[in-house]
Amino acid sequence: MLPTSKFTRNRRLSQFLTFLDLGLTIAHLIAHLWLDSPIAQAKAPESKEPNKTESAETLKLPPKKQPVEVSVGLHISNLADINQATETFAVAGYLLYNWNDPRLAYNAKTAGTTTKASKLDDIWHPNLEMVNFKSSEASDTTVDIAPDGTVTAQERFSKTLSSGLELDRFPFDRQKLLVIIESLKSPESSVRLTHDPKKISIGTDSFVTLSEWTVKQLDGSDGRSFFPPEQQNYSRVSIEINIQRNSGFYIFKVMVPLFLITIASWSVFWINPQEFSTQIGIAFTNLLTIVALLLVINDSLPKVGYLTFMDGFTMLCFSAILVAILELVVAHRWETNNKHNRAEKIHHIARWLVPSVFMFGNLILYVLMIGIKA
């Protein structure tokens, strides 16, 4: 009895295992056919892709915590040109700005890195622009994300910017070139810009600055501008590039020659009043020499609609020579009327009066246009 019972149990167990294996095979086959079917393939993307798309689009929306604090810096790699006629300057460098977006935070150990690279268009960003630009070339931006969600953007740019110049002290002037940075799309209630003094700098290479100018310092300030169409304030950062003109060219190539020519014209006061042709020839020659000199250097002078120090000095030189010519005409008239003593007397007075008035006029000009504003 015992052997028969044992045999029966083994047989039943074998049948159970056979049916179990057949059931698993059929279930695997059904599952395989279902996954390969058009219905399963059509449903599979619907359950996963929208979540990825939704997440990517969410990162492009502004953070919930507003206003977003954006720290702004500027590094100048080349100050290429300053156009005094159009009051513009060409500059190249890097616009540096960073902000924090908690949605971009990640675990550095899990990610295996402490810095993630990203594309600016794939995340929300403050859309910064230099609002006083006149023209610009194509730029590129690199973006790095820290584990705490801090985003650091570095934009390489090359632009021509407008900035008003105060040339009344020319050629002893100092200028402030402005770089004004604002957010194009976000008002002050959404984005607040602040300058970072540690990130405001200029390169030290020889090609960075121009021979005519010396960069003294860079300053930053925070402010706001009102946009009437939207009736809203926009936060802005202003970077001032303080420069001073190297006036050596204008002193030695313009002012000194003008001064010497003017002094040479006064030699007529020591010539006998009877030699009128010699006197008037010297005076007019000096006058035409000044005109020729100004024509040669005309392209180097700023074309502005107000009086500069150089204009005042030039006018005094012209006036000194014209006064000398007028004195010669008066002395000659007295000489022809047999009033030789009067002609000699006016010559003697002019020898000291004209140079004295010329020097005093230049002193007053310097005090009014440079000394007071220094």
300-316 pLDDT, tens per residue?
777 888 889 999 999 99
Lowest average pLDDT, out of 12-26, 198-212, 256-270, 357-371, goes to 12-26
Domain count, the chain: 3
- Same-domain check for residues 185 and 257: no
Q: Over the stretch 332-352, which tens digit does the pLDDT of each residue have? A: 888 888 888 888 898 899 999
Last residue of a domain, one of 223, 246, 269: 246
Strand residue runs (E) in the chain: 68-83, 88-100, 116-118, 128-130, 133-136, 140-145, 150-162, 174-183, 191-202, 213-227, 232-245
* Same domain, residue pair 82 and 231: yes
Give the pLDDT confidence score for residue 2 in this predicted structure: 42
- Does residue 108 lie in a domain region? yes
Determine the pLDDT at residue 20: 57
In a shared domain, residues 77 and 215:
yes
321 and 295 co-located in one domain? yes
Q: What is the pLDDT of residue 207?
A: 72
Residue range(s) defining the domain that contains residue 361 = 249-371
Query: 333-344 burial, b for 16+ CB within 10 Å, e for fewer?
Result: ebbeeeeeebbe
For the stretch 147-163, pLDDT in tens is 999 999 999 999 999 99
